[in-house]
Amino acid sequence: MRTGAQPKAASGFTLLELVVALAVFATLSVMAYGGLSGSLRAGEVLEENARQRADLQRAIRLIEQDFRYPVVRPVRDQYGDPVASLLGTQRSIALTRAGWANPAAAPRSSLQRVEYRWQRGKLTRLQWASLDRSAATPVNERELLDGLERLTISYHRGGRWLDVWPPANGGPGPALPEALRVELEHPQFGAISRVFALDGGGGIGP
């Protein structure tokens, strides 16, 4: 005669089932992390592309503002030596431009001396507080683009494009070229070209 009930087997996971569950959970976690990491990287790429596009648009806008309104106004450098109204090579250009906004009515000229330099992939814009400067004249130096693969500036005169201004052959001539051409190569957005016709620059060739 049985005097008591048999004890029931304990319910729960076996060791094998627990190992399998942990393995599945680990696999799913790795897959989820990979997807999240990929999404984060894609977001970072999109954000970097947007930043580069904004920097490029800002640089081109500044170039257009400066190169559309050069004027004949030679300046003196920090040593007191005269400098041409427009002085340029294929990789740098300095010019006097009109139309410098003065919303605060500060006691200064509406003309402005600016310079662009391309060195080691960086495009930099310099702006001086006064046209004729000394060693103590403040200068605002601003890096516009980094990683630029190419920058070429050309100067149109007499039906042809020149690599320097004033022309290397010297002699009397106009203070300004008929047109300016800026070509740049951006690693993300490719080749970009702009031509700025100055006074008397009609009929400019390619």
pLDDT computed for residue 63 by the predictor: 93
* 107-159: pLDDT as tens digits: 667 899 999 999 999 999 999 988 999 989 999 999 999 999 999 999 999 89
Q: The pTM is what? A: 0.73
Task: Kindly report which listed range (5-9, 52-56, 182-186) carries the lowest average pLDDT score.
Answer: 5-9
Sorted by where each begins, the domain ranges of the chain are 63-197
The CATH superfamily holding the domain 63-197 is: GSPII I/J protein-like (3.10.610.10)
User: pLDDT tier at 14 (50, 70, 90 boundaries)?
Assistant: confident
pLDDT computed for residue 201 by the predictor: 43
Strands (DSSP E) along 53-174, which ranges?
75-76, 82-83, 86-88, 92-97, 112-119, 122-128, 139-145, 150-157, 160-162
